[in-house]
Structures are given as C-alpha cells and as structure tokens.
A and B are shown apart, each in its own frame.
Chain A
Amino acid sequence: MRQVEQKPLVEAIRLTKTYRGALFSHNDIQAVREVSLKIAPGETLGIVGESGCGKSTVARLLMGLEKPTSGVVLFQNVRIDCLPERKLRPIRSAFQMVFQDSGSSLNARKQVFDILREPMLYHKTVSAQEAPTRIDELLSMVGLPPETKYRYPHEFSGGQRQRICIARALSLQPKLIILDEPVSALDVSVQAQILNLLRDLQDTLGVAYLFIGHGLGAVHYISHLIAVMYRGRIVEYGDSEELFRHPAHPYTKALLDAAPATDFSQRNAPRVLLTGEASGDADEGGCDFEKRCPFACAACRNRPYELRPVADGSRHLASCRLAAEL
C-alpha cells in the first residue's frame, strides 16, 4: 500500500442525491445517501455494488455532471459542487471520465485525430504545432499505433475504442480519472489488457482513479481501497485486500460468495447467497439490508445507519451490527 494519510485529491462529504418521483407521487428516489469518501493522489478507490445502488450517480456528482441535493465535493480543497458551469469549466480538465459504453463515448463523425486534438487545443495543454506529436504520444501510451489516428471510431474494436477514450481522458493531464464500469462491456481477455494498461498508466503518471465496477475481480485487482455500496449508501469501506479477506458486512460477503468459485477445494464452502432484489421502498429506518440479510434479527430493524470501524482504530469500516463477528 501507498502512503496512507495524504492530503486527499478529492473528497466527498455526506453527498446526497434525491430524484423527484413522478408528478404528485411522494416516492422520491434517493439514489445516493450521505456518501463520504476521499481519494488521495495516485490512489485508486473502487466502488462495487449491484445495479442501481447509486455508484454511477456518485461518479456523476463528483464529475459535476449533476448537482448534489446536499453534501459537498472538494477537489484539491476547492468546493466544486456549487460552482456555476462557467467557473467549473477551466478546472474540469483536472478530472476526467471514461464511460462503460465506448461505442457512444466517441463522436462517430470525427477521426481519432480530431477527437484527441480538440480538447487539448481548447485547454491549451499543447500548441497547434505540438498537437500531432502529442497525439502520437498519447496513442502509444494506450498501446495503439500512431497510424490509427486517421481512423473513425467505428473502425475499432470495443477494447481499442476504450483505449482511445482513455487517451482522450489522459490528453488533458488530469489528476483523477473516474472510470465508470470501463471494462464491463468487454471480453474477459480484453478486460485484463485494459486493467493492466490502467495500472501501468497509474504507475507512470501518478493519476488517481475512481473505479466503478460490478465485477469484483476487476475492482479487487486495480483498487487500493474499496467502498461497497447498497441502496445509495456505503455499507463497507476498507483496504482492498483486507476487505476481500475479511468482509465485515453480510452484503459484501454475499457479493464475494456470488462469484463462482474457481478453486475446487472451495466449491462446497458455506456461502451467503441472496434472494430477492434491493427494494426501492422509502427509507423505513433501520438497516437497509435487513430484509435480505441471512443474519438479520429484531435489533437490526431499529438500528440507524452508521459506518463504524470494524475494530478500534481500524481503517476498515462497516455499517453492520455484527461487523466484528462475521
């Protein structure tokens, strides 16, 4: 692990995003509830959770693509969540995003050359004369030959397109790249290539990542820290290794157990398997996971949400009453 207590690059404090329900209905949807997190320079924070748990909303909130209902986003100690777009624009180059669907992430009518060049020229990262050299450099950084710059996005495979998206994000020399399920749409073998590329880039450039995924393997491989989200809340937070070895929340345990075992000796080990789906019901108080939790009891129903250290002084946090015992 890297230096642990550094000044955070980006910090979210009690971020909440509520979407208004349909007209006249009172069912507001709480996509994100009081999520706090920090990412240090050069570090990777992974966010896992099932579809609809609010992980992508967190990404959009951090990117300033949406305004939080409440809470604060600090980027290098500057509050950015309430900045008007006009003032946000000049500092946007410092944090970039890569999306899951690389097909719609690139303008189909432009050559790679233009796709990479335009943002750099606007932000004056390079001069017009240096741009071609820089574009070749960016392409080689992501493992594409320089000739490909005259091609159109549809002439590439999904994995190659994702490399172009990464190159575009890198072109503005960001300090943070938010990766919203960047490998979920790719073949497993290509996934590994992209993950290795991301790791190498982090080693050479020192860029920080927020890596969102639902594939546990990928998140585990690339992240230093992991946050597990359930129904808009972080239910467990800790070092990647520690969290995988000793999950302290039944939901994390279920996520780990749901992955098919590749090790035959583990095949018959006891598992926590979930039934049902995360309900979108309004907050009834108590633990959100209680209805699906195999360990739930009456005490869970009235217990307010709180993220606490699993052991005293530990960096490993969990919201479960039974965290220490699991």
Chain B
Amino acid sequence: MRNAMNQQAFQRFRRHKAAMVCLLILTIIVLTALFAPLITPYSPVKISGGFSAPPDASHWLGTDQIGRDMFSRLLYAVRISLMVGALATGISTLVGVLLGLIAGYLGGWVDRALMGFTDMVMSFPYILLILVAAAIFEPGLWSIILILGFVDWPGVARLVRGNVLSLKETNFIKGDIAAGMPRRFILFSEILPNTIAPVLIYATSVFAVSILDEAALSFLGMGVQPPTPSLGNILNGAESISILTGKPWLWLPAGILIMTLVVCINFIGDALRDAMDPRNG
C-alpha cells in the first residue's frame, strides 16, 4: 500500500528516456569501479609496462608516464571520485537538513544566527576556502571529503529552511500543534518526509558538483595525493603541452569519464524532479 506513491513516481521516471540511459551508463560505471580488481589484472599503483606507452592489447588505454596501467588507474580513480562525491554529499546534506530544520522551525534569533552563518559560508569564494583549508590540513582523501562536505551544505540548509517555513503554515502542522503533538514528532515525522524529495533532487546536483570539485582540487595538487589515483590527479599529468597534443590516452579517458558522470547524474536529478512532483499525473 505504502508503495503506491513510489510506484507512480517510478512510472514517471521511466518516461524520461535520457535519464533511463544515463541510469544505465552510471550503473555500468559504478559496477566496473566496484569490481575493478576482477576486471583488470594490473594494480593501479604498480609499474607494469613502458613509460607513456600508447594503448595496445595488454594495456587497453596505454600506460602513464611512469609505466602504470591507465585502464586500472581509471577504474580505481572512479572509485575514489564516487566515494568523495557520495560522502561529501552525505555530509553536506545531513548538516544542511539539520540546520535548515532547526532554523526554519525555531525561527527567531536561532534562525537569524544560523542563516547569517549560512550566508557567510555561501558568500565565501569557495575555491579559495578549499585551497586555504587544503593548505592548513594535510591534503588527502579525507580532508577533501570533509572540506567539500563543509562547502556544500548552505544550499541544502536554505532549501530545507524555506520548505519548513512554508510547511509550518499549512493546516496539518497547525492541526498537529493543536493536537498537542511534541516538537520532535512535528519535525521528524511530519515536516522532514515532506522535504525529502527536493533535498534528494538537490543532493544529486551536489553529488555532481562534488565530483567536479574533487577533480579540480586534485588537478591543482590539493586533493587526493598520488600514488592513489583520482580522476583529477590523472588529469594533472596533462598539464604539459606535449602530453596534451601527443599523448591523448593520458588525459582524454579521464576527462570523458568526469563529463559522463556529471552529465548522467544531472539528467537523473532532472528526471527525479519530475518524477517526485505528484502533479505530473
């Protein structure tokens, strides 16, 4: 019975052909990344061939400057990128939802203080913030996850706060207050489920942006540190013009992967937006 609404939403999602294709592509990428050790015989961090060798039968995408297999580096890099994206999105969504709920429901000075802080974080040039933070804390996988998590929550917080403010005025919340229901019930059982859909949609775009940010930071050398491969630090190798023009296998696949991931995630987010709106019959 409870699934009736979800089933309808799924029907609407399926009508988005592009999103269905994207979902398929994303699933394939995620699965190959997850099962990387079964797919590629090479380690992503061990030298297994010549320096910068072009693609051949044993190294499908060639080798990098110090002779590591590019295909296995890519697969492991997707793992890292997806993990950074997912965890950063998780952290920022959690923080944003909590602060947004509190600010919206309590109102008054709590709201003003929290939203002031949110605006401050939002208005800060975030690449600079990330660079400074990456310089202060040791650059690495976990610091980049935490930094991205911290940078992306203000949007979620504002979204949730806005939703809470409008829900607070609806009759069913007034009815709950009139029925003497406790605050935690109103917040977590009534208001929160009604803001899940927009938050989920927003989270998909945060996910895509986090993957991009990780790539940018790692490209600048402030993110995931070699030898651990990430899509960003693979691109780092393409800084020299000779590689850019003469050895496309060193950077083109990583670039294409980043683009594919971001485009797919955004399309899926779009389809979710339509699917979760019950007005779209």
- Pairwise interchain contact B179-A99, C-beta atoms closer than 8 A: no
Chain A nearest Cβ from B173, distance in angstroms: 9
Q: Which residues of the partner chain A approach B175 to less than 8 Å between Cβ atoms? A: 97, 99, 105, 165, 168
Considering only CB atoms, which chain A residue lies closest to B189 in the complex? A118
Given the complex of chains A and B, what is the CA–CA distance between A108 and B178 in angstroms? 18
B172 with A106: CB separation less than 8 A: yes
Is A50 part of the contact surface with B, judged by Cβ < 8 Å? no
- Kindly identify, within residues 169 to 197 of chain A, every residue whose CB is under 8 Å from any CB belonging to chain B: 172
The yes or no answer to B185 lying at the interface (CB within 8 A) is: yes
Measured in the bound complex, the distance between the Cα atoms of B4 and A92 in whole Å is 34
Known: A104-B171, A122-B185, A150-B1. A97 touches B178 (CB 8 A): yes
Interface centre among B4, B180, B181, B190 (most CB of A within 10 A): B180
Q: Which residue of A lies closest to B176 (CB)?
A: A119
Any chain B CB within 8 A of the CB of A93? yes
Interface residue A201 (Cβ < 8 Å from any Cβ of B): no
Q: How far is the CB of B126 from chain A (nearest CB, A)?
A: 34
Residue from A90, A105, A106, A111 in contact with B180 in the complex, judged by beta carbons closer than 8 Å: A90
User: Is B193 part of the contact surface with A, judged by Cβ < 8 Å?
Assistant: yes
A105: chain B residues within 8 A (beta carbon): 170-172, 175
Please give, as numbers and ranges, the residues of chain A lying within 8 Å of B179 by CB-CB distance.
Answer: 92-93, 96, 119, 122-123, 168, 172
Find chain A residues with CB under 8 A from B185 CB. 118, 122
Question: Do residues A96 and B193 form an inter-chain contact, with CB atoms below 8 A?
Answer: no
Q: Which of A63, A97, A99, A109 contacts B194 (CB 8 A)?
A: A109
Q: Tell me the bound Cα distance from A88 to B180 in angstroms.
A: 8
Is A7 an interface residue, CB under 8 A from the partner? no
* B17 in contact (CB, < 8 A): no
Q: Is the CB of A118 within 8 A of B180?
A: no
Whether a CB of chain A sits under 8 angstroms from the CB of B41 is: no
**A89 close to B194 (CB less than 8 A):** no
What is the interface size of chain B, counting residues whose CB is below 8 A from a CB of the partner? Answer: 22
A96, A99, A109, A168: most-surrounded residue (chain B CB, <10 A): A109
- A65, B174: Cβ atoms under 8 Å? yes
Q: Mark A104-118, 1 if CB is under 8 A from B, else 0.
A: 111111010000001
- In the complex, what residues of A have CB within 8 A of residue B4's CB? 152
**In angstroms, how far is the closest chain A Cβ from the Cβ of B176?**
8
Contact A109 B180 (CB under 8 A): no
What residues of chain B lie closer than 8 Å to A104, measured between beta carbons? 170-172
Q: In the complex, what distance in Å separates the CA atom of A73 from the CA atom of B262?
A: 59
Interface residues of B, dominant DSSP: helix
**Assembly CA distance A119 to B189 (angstroms):** 12
Contact of B178 among A65, A107, A123 (CB under 8 A): A65
Complex formed: what's the CA distance from A65 to B185 in Å? Answer: 17
Name the distance in Å between A6's Cβ and chain B's nearest Cβ: 25
Task: Say yes or no for A257: interface residue by CB 8 A criterion.
Answer: no
- Chain B residues with CB under 8 Å of A168's CB are 175, 179
> Whole-angstrom distance from the CB of B195 to the nearest CB of chain A?
11
CA A240 to CA B207, docked complex, whole Å: 63
Q: Are B171 and A89 in contact (CB under 8 A)?
A: no
Q: Does A154 contact B (CB under 8 A)?
A: yes
Quick check: is B39 within 8 A (CB to CB) of the other chain?
no
A130 to chain B, nearest CB (A): 18
B194 touches A107 (CB 8 A): yes
Contact B193 A109 (CB under 8 A): yes
A208 to chain B, nearest CB (A): 16
B246: CB under 8 A from chain A? no
The residue in chain B whose Cβ has the minimal distance to the Cβ of A96 is B178
The verdict on A290 contacting chain B, using a C-beta distance below 8 Å, is: no
Residue B177 lies at the interface, judged by CB distance under 8 Å to chain A: yes
B125 within 8 A of A: no
Q: Decide: B182 and A154 in contact? CB cutoff 8 A.
A: no
Shortest distance in angstroms between B125's beta carbon and chain A's nearest beta carbon? 33
Return 10 A-B CB contacts under 8 Å, by A number: A65-B174, A93-B179, A93-B180, A96-B178, A96-B179, A99-B174, A105-B175, A118-B181, A119-B181, A123-B180
What 10 A-B pairs are tightest by C-beta distance, nearest first? A92-B180, A105-B171, A99-B171, A89-B180, A119-B179, A104-B170, A104-B171, A97-B178, A150-B1, A107-B172
Chain A residues with CB under 8 Å of chain B are 63, 65, 88-93, 95-97, 99, 101, 104-109, 111, 118-119, 122-123, 150, 152, 154, 165, 168, 172
B residues sitting closer than 8 Å to A (CB atoms) are 1-2, 4-5, 170-172, 174-182, 185, 189-190, 193-194, 278
Beyond A65-B174, A92-B179, A165-B175, list 6 extra A-B contacts (CB 8 Å): A92-B180, A97-B178, A107-B172, A118-B185, A122-B181, A123-B179
